[in-house]
Structure 1
C-alpha cells in the first residue's frame, strides 16, 4: 500500500501525492455525510416526541466527549499510527450512526438511546481530530501544507452549502433514519479508504502516556504564541457562537423577516467560507499567525451589522466577508501550527488548543442568555462583537505572534525533544 513516509520525486501540488488523494477522498466522503447528520439528528428526536430539552441533551452528549477525551486523543496521536487511529475512529462513528439509524427506523429510538449514540460519535471525533492534524504533516511536504489545508477545507465548505438541502430532501422524502444511515455509510467508506493509508507512528522516547501529557503541557505553555492564541480563541469562539447562533435568529426575527432572512444570512456566511478557501489556494501570506488573527476578527462584521440594524443587503455582505475571513484564518492558523510545532507533539498541542477554545462555549451561551434578558438582543449582540474585537486586538499585541511566519523548506524546524527550543519558534 501507499506509504506517506516516502516521497521519491518532487511534486508541484498536494494533488500529485497519492496518499494525500486517498486522504482527501476519505475526508470528502466523511464530511458529506456529517453535514446532513445535524438535521437528521434533530428530526429523529422530533419523530420520537422530543422537544427542545431533549434535543439540547442530545447535542450536549455529542459535545461533552470532545472535552473529556480530546487530551487522550492527542496523546494517542503522538504515540500510535495516526492512519490507524483515523481508521478506528471512523469505524466507531460508523457503528454509532448505524445503530442510531436502525433504532430510528424500527421505532425503538428514545432520547436516551439517541444521546448514547451521540456520546459514542463524539468520542470517535475526539480521537479523529488530533490524528488528522498530524497526519497531513506526515503526508504533505512543508511547502505544500497551506494548499493541502485549503484543499481539505474546500469540500467541507462546499457541502455546508449543498448537504443541508440534500439532507432536508432525504428526511422529508424518506425520514431521518435514511439520512442517518447515509452518514454511517460515509464513515464506513472513509474507514475503508484510510485502511490503505499507512503512516508510521511518531518516534517517542517516553515510557508512559502521563509523561507524554506532562511534556505536551510544558511544550504548549512554553510557546507564548500558542497559548495566547488559544486564550484569545476561547473568547472569540464563545462570543461568536453565542452571538451568531443564539442571538442571531432572535434579532433576525425582531428586526428582519425572521427565518427567511436568517437563512439568507447563514447561506451568505457559508458562501464566504467557500470563497475563503479559494483565496487560500492562491494567496500565501508570509505572516501566517498575524493573518490568522486579523482575518478571524472579521467575525465582528455580521454581529455589528445586525446590532446596528443595517439593511439586509449590508448584513449579507458582512456575513459573506466574515465567512471569507474565518476560512482564511483557519487555513493560515493550521499552516502556522503545522510548520512551527514538531510532528511528534502535534496531537497533544492541538488537543490543548481545542479544549481551551471550547471550554468557554457553555459559559458564553449562559452569560449571553442572561444578558439578553437584561438588555435588548441588539445590545447583547453588540457586546459579543466588542468581545471579538477586543480579543483580536489584544492577541495582535503579543510580540511572539509576529515571529510565527511562513517557513521555507530550509527553515523547517528539525524534529526535537529539546523543549528549550520551543520558544525560539
Structure 2
C-alpha cells in the first residue's frame, strides 16, 4: 500500500463520518478513567470504593455482551451506537452533575456506572460489525489502522487533558467533558446512511446458537480467543499489577521511569498504525502472533534488569507488535466472518478478553504477596512467549491469508 493511498478510506464520506464520531468519543473514553477515579476519590477516599465502582462497570459489561452482540446483528448498527452514546452521555452527565453539586454518593455512582458498563456491551460489538459496511474489502486493513491510530493517539492525549481539567475546575467537570464528546459523536453518526437492517424472526437463543456456530467452526478463531483469555490475564497481571509495584520499589526505574516506559509502548503502537496504512499484512494472524509474542521481552527485562533505558525501547517494540496483532486480528474477523454474524462473534471474542482482566489482577496480586515478584515476571515472560508462538503450530493461524489478496491472485491470468 503506497503513501498516496494511505488515507484512501477517509475519502468515503460514510467512513469519514464514523472516523470523526469514533475519534471524538474516544477522547472522552480516554479521559474517563482519570476523571472517574478522581471523582470517586473526591466522594470517598478509600481505594475500596474505587474498586467497587470499576468492578460494577466491568461485571455489567460482561453480563450483557452476548445480548449486545445479538442486538447489534439484528438492528441498524449505526442506530444502536447512537442510542448507546445517548445513554453514555446521560449517565456520565448525571455523575458529573452529582459530583459538581455535592450530591454524589458511592452507591449512586456504582449504580450509574453499572448502567454505563451495560451500555458499552451493546456499542462495542456494533462498532466492530459496522466497519465492513462502510468501506470496500480491500480497505479494511487501512480503515482498522486509521481507527487504531485515533484510539492510540487519544489514549496519549485524553489522560493529560483529564488531568488538566481535574486539577482545575475539578473531576466533575472532566466527566462533563466526557459526556459532551458523546453528544458530538451522535451528530457525526447521523451523517451515515446505511440500508435498512434485515429483520430475523429467530429467537434470542437461536441467534446466540448461530453465533456460537460461526465462532466455533473456524479453528483459528476460537483457538486464539481461548489462548488470549490466558495471555490477557497474565499480561494484565504482570505488566499492570506487578509492573507498578516494581517501579515504585526500584530506584533505577521509579514512577517517572515507569511512565516513560508506558509512553514508549503507546508511541510504538501509534507509529505502527502509520506503517499498517501503507503495508498489507498478507498473513495477518501469523504476523499478529509474532507481534504479540514481543510483549514477553519487556516483561522479562522488568524481572531481570528493570532500568528505564533498557525497558523503553523494548516497550516501544512491544507496542508496535501489539498493534500488528490488533489490526491483523480485526482484518481476519471482518474478512472471514459473515457480516450478519460479525457482532455476535465479536461479542464472544470480547467476553474471552474481558473475563480475563479481573482474574489476572486478582491472581497476580496474590502471587506478588506470596512469592518474589521478579521471579514471577521471568516465569510469566517465558510462558507468554512460548504460548504465543505455539499458536503458529495451528495451520489455520499460520496460513490464513488476506481474502482480497487471494481473490486478486485467483482473478489474475497467471493465477
- Per the normalisation by structure 2, the TM-score is 0.93
Q: 1:79 corresponds to which residue? A: 74
How many angstroms apart in 1 are the aligned matches of 2:17 and 2:158? 22
Matched residues in 1 for 2:382 and 2:354: separation? 19
Residue 337 in 1 paired to residue 333 in 2?
A: yes
Aligned counterpart in structure 2 of residue 287 of structure 1, from 274, 283, 297: 283
1:31–1:11 Cα change, 3 Å: closer
Q: State how far apart, in whole Å, the 2-side matches of 1:110 and 1:285 are.
A: 49
Specify which of 400, 407, 411 is matched with residue 411 of structure 1: 407
Q: Is it true that 1:358 corresponds to 2:354 in the alignment?
A: yes
For residues 83-122 of structure 1, the aligned pairs below 5 Å read 83-122=78-117
Question: How far 1:22 moved relative to its partner?
Answer: 0.4
Q: How does 1:376-415 map to 2 (within 5 A)?
A: 376-408=372-404, 411=407
C-alpha distance in 2 between matches for 1:33 and 1:143: 30
1:130/1:351 contact within 8 Å kept: yes
User: What's the secondary structure of 2:74's corresponding residue?
Assistant: coil
Query: What are the equivalent positions in structure 2 for 1:180-329 lying under 5 Å apart?
Result: 180-203=175-198, 205-255=200-250, 256-329=252-325
Q: Which residue of 2 is the match for residue 34 of structure 1?
A: 29
User: Is the contact between residue 142 and residue 409 of structure 1 (CA under 8 Å) also seen in structure 2?
Assistant: no
Q: Are 2:253 and 2:308, in contact at CA under 8 Å, matched by a contact in 1?
A: no
Q: Tell me the number of residue pairs that the alignment of Structure 1 and Structure 2 aligns.
A: 403
Structure 1 CA distance for aligned equivalents of residues 277 and 263 of structure 2: 22
Structure 2 unmatched runs, 5+ = 409-415
User: What's the CA shift for 1:14?
Assistant: 0.6
Q: How far apart are the structure 1 equivalents of 2:291 and 2:196?
A: 34
> What is residue 164 of structure 1 aligned with on the other side?
159
**2:39 is matched with which residue?**
44
Distance in structure 1 (CA, Å) of the matches to 2:142 and 2:226: 27
How far the C-alpha of 1:11 sits from its partner, in A, is: 12
2:16 matches 1:21: yes
Closer/same/farther in 2, CA of residues 410 and 292 from structure 1, 3 Å limit = closer
Matches within 5 A, 1:61-76: 61-76=56-71
1:50-61 equivalences under 5 Å are: 50-61=45-56
What is the CA-CA distance between 1:391 and the residue it aligns to? Answer: 2.1
Question: Aligned to 2:213, what secondary structure does the other structure show?
Answer: helix
SS state of the match for residue 197, structure 1?
coil
Residue 199 and residue 175 in structure 1: after superposition, are their counterparts in 2 closer, same or farther (change >3 A)?
same
Q: Distance in 2 between matches of 1:105 and 1:314?
A: 44
Q: CA deviation at 1:199?
A: 2.5
> 2: CA distance between counterparts of 1:12 and 1:50?
46
The within-5 A match list for 1:118-129 is: 118-129=113-124
User: Where do 5+ consecutive residues of structure 1 fail to align?
Assistant: 1-9, 413-425
Q: Tell me, yes or no, if structure 1 residue 141 matches structure 2 residue 136.
A: yes
Distance 2:365 2:382 in 1: 17
Q: 2:411 corresponds to which residue?
A: none
Q: Structure 1's 176 and 410: CA in aligned 2 closer, same or farther, altered over 3 A?
A: same
- Alpha-carbon offset, residue 223 of structure 1: 0.9
Give the Å deviation of 1:393: 1.9
User: Separation in 2 of the partners of 1:411 and 1:399?
Assistant: 20
Offset of residue 12 of structure 1? 8.0
- Deviations 1:395-421 (CA, angstroms, capped at 9, x unpaired): 111122123211127739xxxxxxxxx
Please report the RMSD computed on the Cα atoms of aligned residues, expressed in angstroms: 1.8
2: CA distance between counterparts of 1:401 and 1:234? Answer: 17
Q: Distance in 2 between matches of 1:101 and 1:113?
A: 12
Q: Secondary structure at the match of 1:405?
A: coil
What residue is the counterpart of 1:423 in the other structure?
none
CA contact (8 A) 1:242 1:384 kept: no
